[in-house]
Amino acid sequence: QPQQQQLQDENQLRKEKAKRKKEKLSSLCKTPPSLIRTRAGKDYRRGLFLGEGGFARCFQIRDDSGAVFAAKTVAKASIKSDKTKTKLLSEIKIHKSMNHTNIVKFIDCFEDDANVYILLEICPNQSLMDLLKKRKVLTEPEVRFFMTQIIGGIKHMHTRRVIHRDLKLGNIFFDPDMNLKIGDFGLAAALKKDTDRKYTICGTPNYIAPEVLTGKTAGHSYEVDIWSIGVMIYALLIGKPPFQSKDVSLIYERIKKNDYAFPEDKPCSEAAKDLITSILTTDPLKRPNLDEILESEFFKGEFPARITTESLICAPDYR
């Protein structure tokens, strides 16, 4: 089919582009100096390397008072085009406007000759994705606990007309007290009014809502974040995302056909299945809203008072 061929071509192009971008990035983004002096005359000391994404490298950084932050570092040489500059400025502006316990706190932003530094609250206990890799699946009480925090953060965004558009386990981090913080506003969009639509195809394959893939003319809105909540709940309980495949175009086909199942060897409660099924509805307007998700049967189950770092290693015993 020509449409499938087109998707495959786009897919191949996207992969090559991402690879070139990453190669270019790593050649451009040298490790920042051990002492970073901002133009305003403030000194920061660089610490450990924390990780890298498609756009930035992240380091630990310490100020004169001894406070530790994460510094998302973007090489200036990689933001020469107006389009990339606008994108970075938009990420900074949107992230700066957020203020919620479950969103990575934006601290400051500054530059030296080589880099732009985005100073963020440090989340040293890795992401939900790292947790899932180690644990394989989580218990339902843990998922209720984590999702309540995540939905709290998303509610803050949506009431401020911000759509995150890249919600996934790898973008949700643990702070030192095992509270979750949503990060990476690189694909976020701020709407001028609630009825505005967005048209850019973006996101991470496993988490993309069907209307992003099919709605080139109709556009998409807040409901794409709801869809990714469904994907995350499924992934945390079953151990892998619902539309998973090695081939990205097959993932897209499965998302468009709503082709997923609950494997019999990974039992989860009927309440969990009902909730996931209601969220992963192809028609965005038929999906539950954030309050309806929290009021669902699934969230009425056992709820841990708190989560400890023990969860990073094994399933907590709630008996």
DSSP symbols for 83-112: HHHHHHHHHHHHHHT---TTBPPEEEEEE-
Residue 106 CB neighbour total at 10 angstroms? 21
**Is residue 58 involved in binding ligand ADP (CB under 6 A)?**
yes
- The H or E element that residue 210 is part of is helix 210-214
**Is residue 53 involved in binding ligand ADP (CB under 6 A)?**
yes
In the list 22, 28, 38, 52, the residue contacting ligand ADP (rule: CB under 6 A) is 52
CB of 48 to ligand ADP, least distance (A): 10
Q: Is residue 166 among the annotated active site residues?
A: yes
Set 63, 64, 82, 166: catalytic member:
166
Question: Given the complex with ligand ADP, which of 54 and 219 has the nearer CB atom?
Answer: 54
**Is residue 153 involved in binding ligand ADP (CB under 6 A)?**
no
The strand pairing partners of 174, in sequence order, are 180
From the list 212, 214, 215, the residue with the least C-alpha distance to 202 is: 212
SS3 of 126, please? coil
In the list 140, 142, 184, 225, the residue contacting ligand ADP (rule: CB under 6 A) is 184
**Is residue 104 involved in binding ligand ADP (CB under 6 A)?**
yes
Question: Given the complex with ligand ADP, which of 208 and 293 has the nearer CB atom?
Answer: 208
**Is residue 288 involved in binding ligand ADP (CB under 6 A)?**
no
Query: CB–CB of 188/164 below 8 Å?
Result: yes
Cα angle: 121, vertex 107, 47; to 5 degrees: 55
Residue 107 φ then ψ, to 5°: -100, -55
In the list 7, 70, 275, 276, the residue contacting ligand ADP (rule: CB under 6 A) is 70
In the list 103, 116, 120, 293, the residue contacting ligand ADP (rule: CB under 6 A) is 120
- Residue 43 region by backbone torsions, left for phi larger than 0, else alpha for psi between -120 and 50, else beta: beta
Question: Which residue number is nearest to ligand ADP in terms of Cβ?
Answer: 53
Would you list which residues are annotated within the binding site for ATP?
76
Would you list which residues are annotated within the binding site?
76
Sites of contact with ligand ADP (CB under 6 A) = 50-56, 58, 70, 72, 104, 120-123, 173, 183-184, 186
Give the active site residues: 166
